[in-house]
Amino acid sequence: MQQNLQPIRKDLVLVGGGHTHAIVLQMFGMKPLPGVRLTLITENFETPYSGMLPGHIAGFYSYEECHIDLRPLTS
């Protein structure tokens, strides 16, 4: 893996590990912005996918099926 040798010019801090921030993390991982450092501040390793929560409450989806593990998105 190549290291980013470009100096950090901007810090983007995401507070909370919600669904939208999970998408931002995924997109940043696929196409990092040069000179931007991305930081996630959250107490949780997993975040619920809000569109599936009603199905989870109704018993259609398990916890694992309707939650996003943030750890792989932050490495």
**Owning domain of residue 47:** 43-75
Mean pLDDT for 33-49 is 93
In a domain? residue 71: yes
Against a cut of 0.95, is the pTM above it? no
Give SS3 for 40. Answer: strand
Q: What are phi and psi of 5, to 5 degrees?
A: -90, 0
In a domain? residue 56: yes
Q: Is the pLDDT of residue 4 over 80?
A: no
Count: domains in the chain: 1
In a domain? residue 33: no
Could you give the C-alpha distances from 22 to 16, 31, 32, 62, 69, in angstroms and in order?
10, 14, 14, 19, 9
Banded model confidence at residue 30, pLDDT cuts 50, 70, 90 = very high
